[in-house]
Amino acid sequence: MMTASFLDGRARFLGYAGLLPQIFAVLLLSDEGLRWTALAGGFGYAALIFSFLGGVWWGLGISNPHAPRWLYVAGVLPSLISLAAYLPWIFGWSWPGPSLAIIAVCLLISPLVDREMALTLSLPQGWLALRRNLSLGLGALTALLAAATFLIQP
C-alpha cells in the first residue's frame, strides 16, 4: 500500500503535472490556426486519462479480494465511453463539442466512484482528495474546451 508521504510528494506533483497538457490545449484556443489541433488534442488527452482511470479502478478491484463486484464494470466503462465519444469523429458527425462535453461530465462525476470504493476498500491516505482535485481540474478544463466549440469556430 502507498504511504501518505508518497501521496503528499511524487504522486501529488505528477498528478497535478498531468493537468498541464489540458491547460496547454486551452491556451492554444487563442491561436486560430491551432484551434482545431487544441480541441482534438484536448479530447484525446481527456479520453486517454479517463480510460487510464478505469484501469486504476480495475487494478484496485483485482488486487483486493474485498472489492465490490460493480468496480469491475466501473473499471471497463471509461474505455468504452471514450471510444463511443470518439466514434462521431470517425464517422464525420458533429465533433468535437459533444464528445468533449461527454468526457468532461464523466471526469467531473468520476470521484463518486472513488467515494463509493472508499466505503469498502482501504485506500491510501489522501487518495480521495487527490482524485477529486485532479478529476475536477481535468473535467473543468475539458468543459472549457467543449464550451469553446460552441462559442468559437475551430
pLDDT digits (tens, 9 = 90+) for 68-113: 999 999 999 999 999 999 999 899 887 899 999 999 999 999 999 9
Domain-embedded: residue 56:
yes
State if pTM tops 0.85: yes
Distance CA 13, CA 23 (A): 16
pLDDT at residue 2 tops 70: no
Distance CA 46, CA 108 (A): 11
Domain-embedded: residue 4:
no
Dihedral sign computed on CA atoms, order 16, 106, 79, 119 = positive
Domain-embedded: residue 22:
yes
Domain-embedded: residue 75:
yes
Tally of domains within the chain: 1
pLDDT at residue 5 tops 60: no
Which residues 6+ apart lie within 8 Å of 110 measured at CB? 50, 53, 78, 131, 135, 139
Distance CA 44, CA 145 (A): 12
Q: Which range of residues forms the domain containing residue 144?
A: 9-151
